[in-house]
Amino acid sequence: MNIIDELEWRGAINQQTDAEGLRELTEQKSISLYCGVDPTGDSMHIGHLIPFIMLKRFQLAGHRPVILIGGATGTIGDPSGRQSERSLQTLEQVQANVDALTAQMKKLFITEGDNQIRLVNNYDWTHKINVIEFLRDYGKNFSINAMLAKDVVASRLESGISFTEFSYQILQSLDFLHLYRHEDVQLQIGGSDQWGNITSGLDLIRKKEGPEAKAFGLTIPLMLKADGTKFGKTAGGAVWLDPNKTTPFEFYQFWANTDDRDVVKYLKYFTFLSKEQIDELAVKVETEPHKREAQKMLAEEMTRFVHGEELLEQAKRITAALFTGDIKSLTADEIEQGFKEMPTYEATKEAKNIVDWLVELGIEPSKRQAREDITKGAISMNGERVSELDLEVTADLAIGGRFIIIRKGKKNYSLVKLS
């Protein structure tokens, strides 16, 4: 399957500047292509992954991807998709973010001895250009009329846009020209909001290199969930790739909880499973949706890709323990991940009667209710049912000396931290 055919089957193409020409080029030779990300933060979230996974697909098809970290454009601010100006970051903060994203990209996409994916930073060539060169050699090639007509600018004219953000498309165009000249890059890919920036780059290449220059642009569709809401957002915010921002368990659960209406689309977009494997899972979504096999496969593939085999197994252990109630099989660190969003209470390590302890913490509203729930077998501690009203709660009962998990009824969990 030609790489363009594969992307079309996966539903991953939104717009192309020259679909026929790009298909012909990718059939003729191995091409270089790029996608960029600005260091607006110290971690990518799952929405950022989509175009870079496309780069990886091109690599697997024998092409040569370039990942661009926007050390220069990150200091300016991309107006795409925004209704107001970005707050400028300090140069020190931008550099810290560049370092963090570079490490993240290397971990995700570059294996040892792999020289097929290259990492570049646009600061390396942009900082050498002085303001006179910028205006004479590049600014002269951009029509204000055309720049104002770009959706990203036109949508901001009423609320206002600074010259800084207005000039962003020139800087991104410079990137495409530089990579075309020095890295033989002939294709830029990006999100649908990057169409204006990509076409500006193509215009600059043809003005500088001649109208016959073979360069192309391709965007991916805006990802929406079946209910019409934006992909990648949860009640708690974005789903980050940094395990310190979104734990591997939370990451796994995000994918495992995918709606039946979305799961096949996500398998196509995000995983490297074959068409045959995905078609088979699609049938199971239709015939055996209760087994959620497609969701489990999606969660496993994505957690393995981002966090590795060890943290995938940890996420699966936590998931299994929560399902079976086998809490004691988890370590203290796994408890911290799995119960992060559950009601949390603080307790001292002083020994106390179970009834008094539950009431003082606020897990039970009264001693009468606590005694009644214990007598009925409705209270479990660390996965084991509490049956004695005179049980003494001590630090020895805590997992890792730190946590006690109380379950009231079938699903009401509470995390108690001992200090």
Please enumerate, by residue number, every residue annotated as part of a binding site for L-tyrosine: 34, 168, 172
Query: What residues form the annotated binding site?
Result: 34, 168, 172, 233
**Stretch (H or E) spanning 326:** none
Give me the amino acid identity at 413.
Y
First to last CA, the chain: 59
Burial class (CB in 10 A: 0-12, 13-18, 19+), 169: buried
Cβ atoms 361, 404 nearer than 8 A: no
Q: Which of 245, 249, 251 is nearest to 315 (CA)?
A: 249
Rounded Cα distance, 314 and 305, in Å: 14
Cβ atoms 45, 238 nearer than 8 A: yes
3-state secondary structure 65-119: EEEEECCCHHHCCCCCCCCCCCCCCCHHHHHHHHHHHHHHHHHHHCCCCCCCCEE
Rounded Cα distance, 62 and 200, in Å: 28
Cα-based angle 216, 220, 222 (whole degrees, multiple of 5)? 145
Query: What residues form the annotated binding site for ATP?
Result: 233
Q: Which of 21, 185, 57 is nearest to 118 (CA)?
A: 185
SS3 224: strand
Give me the amino acid identity at 377.
G
Rounded Cα distance, 307 and 251, in Å: 9
Structure tokens at 32: 């270089």
Rounded Cα distance, 99 and 205, in Å: 29
For 146-267, list the strands marked E by DSSP: 185-191, 216-220, 233-234, 237-238
**Stretch (H or E) spanning 162:** none
